[in-house]
Structure 1
Amino acid sequence: MALSELYYWLLTGPHGGHILNMTLERGHLERVIRAIQQLRARFAEPIRIESLADAAGMSLSTFHRQFKAVTAMSPLQYQKQLRLLEGRRLLVSERKNVETAAYANGYESPSQFSREYRRMFGLSPKRDARSTQAGALPPAWPTEG
């Protein structure tokens, strides 16, 4: 009973709106984090953003807005980044070829994978893998001056 009264006074007080917004934002954050976990677990699969929004209990527009507020990118951009990072890991650590890395990460063609890889890392997948395996830092990672 005392707790209910405390909540009432907090929410009806001069800072009630701020307290309510913090509570709502935390709820959105937790739901976006669940969607991120789903994306991370299934990044190589085609995923409908509508199904992520439904799983998060948000409308599509709210989900996009909240997702971008948390990650600074759209859900599709986030998925693409996960795919490219895993592709890079396969190329460098497991010494897979470009085709294997592309198909293993949900790309329909190695050329699409290579184009997006070059945009993200600044080198073609083959050149980046060779330079990284040789011990050189890729251009996407700044060196200390």
Structure 2
Amino acid sequence: MRSIVLAPEVDTAPPSHQGASGYEDDIRVKARLLARLKERFLLESPEIPVVDAVFDDLESILGEHAELKMAEIEKLRPRLHAVFRRIVYVSRQPNSGVLPATVVECRSLLMERFPRDFGPALVHVRRLAMAVSALLDELLEDLP
């Protein structure tokens, strides 16, 4: 059974030396597989929107002309928080490409309660957006 994650790059390079699992223990094959898994996990997961929508949300929060109202913050925060949880999970995996210090810095946001007052809520959602942006930068940096 052919997996969508492995198509087409991994299938085009047959292993030259087969190990116990049937495939070469090649770092390039592992790197391509990890990159495709990260891409699929981030881009095709039903729990998070398409990456373009994530970047649109980041722009509406952190952009030069961002002027959010409380109703917009309340609409954006759950989506951004869902993306953030997923990205933190992926970032904690070995060989994710994210520095452990970055993950530690960002994880504290997972435990914070969402403030009800406008000022603290705006600060919270901006911190969340900056954390998502930082993690995405490191995660997507090495994708082919």
Shorter chain as normaliser: what TM range?
A: 0.3 to 0.5
TM-score normalized by structure 2?
Answer: 0.32
* Structure with greater proportional helix content: 1
* Structure having the higher Rg: 1
Query: Taking CA–CA contacts closer than 8 Å with sequence separation of 6 or more, which of the two structures ends up with the larger relative contact order?
Result: 2
